[in-house]
Amino acid sequence: MMINKPLVLTYLYLLIYILLSSGVILYNKWVLSPKYFNFPFPITLTMIHMGFSGVVAFFLVRVFKVVSPVKMTFEIYATCVVPISAFFASSLWFGNTAYLHISVAFIQMLKALMPVATFFMAVLCGTDKARLDVFLNMVLVSVGVVISSYGEIHFNIVGTLYQVTGIVAEALRLVLTQVLLQKKGLTLNPITSLYYIAPCSFVFLFVPWYLLEKPMMEVSQIQFNFWIFFSNALCALALNFSIFLVIGRTGAVTIRVAGVLKDWILIALSTVIFPESTITGLNIIGYAIALCGVVMYNYIKVKDVRASSQLPAESIPDRIAKDWKLEKKSSDIFNPNNSSDNNGGNINSEPQIDEEAPLIASSRLSHIGRTQINQYLRFACRFIVS
């Protein structure tokens, strides 16, 4: 029996993505929770991740020259990178702070609101049109989240507000990434996005850290374990790169299926690792209703993409294998001078943004995404990078 190596490789990438994504979220909860490692400083932890990512990206770009920096002018940096970094830093700050107040399982349920926030922000910014079918799906998602919240035993309004605020900030970041960078004709790959975004986000986080966490750290006895924070930051960095690797090899449809599977696995694992995370029947019912809305929304978007690109429907394994073969022809290293293969220098190229993409779009797009990936941007379930 012949083994389909591209398909096996694809599922291996998906497995790595699911393991890293779940692992980073659980790791962050363990580090921040007062009941475990007891480092209740989410801004500090986020700054460690941003600093580490920025340093690694600097060496890859400037020292080892793995990729070439883009032509970044002061005007582009001030009008595009700075606001995107501000919302990115805010989403990480609020999202990580939520770990101090609510469970991982409930946070994952609240994240079902991400497509709702992204859709409304896209409509407000003019990058998407208001549609009745999509709006009804958003209502279904919202109703499911409300039911799930009502069934939460350890409901905490502060943690819920932190998480919802982080979702809104991430939705704004995703829409601004499309509006601002596309308008400037700028496409960043995973390494260059870290190179430009991470240091700027670090600076934005410094202000709330200095005002909110620095005084607390001076009076409290904190434990600092180098290997804990180094491995945590390394896992977060690896997840940044793995998401773009998965998108480049599989496409946006498959990553959404993997994302839903990852959420259910994460909810189940969190109840085992953190016994205080109790799930009720109402939690499950509400989350299942919300996921039905998300799945229906994905179906609408996939149908729109297929209709506009006039591609015949294919089974997921066949499409995965075909996408992988097509992507195999393009280089794994960003080449700004080769715009015909990877859209690196094409001013009309559109960024592909996964529902959990940590920073800015990959320069390597899947087969379907090369022409219609803009339609996928509307649905984005945020990934916790730190």
Q: What is the pLDDT of residue 1?
A: 57
Q: What is the pLDDT of residue 386?
A: 41
Q: What is the pLDDT of residue 54?
A: 95
One-letter-per-residue 3-state SS of the chain:
CCCCHHHHHHHHHHHHHHHHHHHHHHHHHHHHCCCCCCCCCHHHHHHHHHHHHHHHHHHHHHHCCCCCCCCCCHHHHHHHHHHHHHHHHHHHHHHHHHHHCCCHHHHHHHHHHHHHHHHHHHHHHCCCCCCHHHHHHHHHHHHHHHHHHHCCCCCCHHHHHHHHHHHHHHHHHHHHHHHHHHHHCCCCCHHHHHHHHHHHHHHHHHHHHHHHHHHHHHHCCCCCCHHHHHHHHHHHHHHHHHHHHHHHHHCHHHHHHHHHHHHHHHHHHHHHHCCCCCCCHHHHHHHHHHHHHHHHHHHHHHHHHHHHHCCCCCCHHHHHHHHHHHHHCCCCCCCCCCHHHHCCCCCCCCCECCCCCCCCCECCCCCCHHHHHHHHHHCCCCCCCC
Pair 382, 359: CB distance under 8 Å: no
Nearest to 88 by CA among 142, 169, 12: 169
Q: What is the pLDDT of residue 251?
A: 63
Q: What is the pLDDT of residue 277?
A: 84
Which segments in the chain show pLDDT lower than 70? 1, 244, 247-248, 250-253, 255, 310-386
Q: What is the pLDDT of residue 318?
A: 52
| Residue type present at position 164 | V
Q: What is the pLDDT of residue 305?
A: 74
Q: What is the pLDDT of residue 338?
A: 39
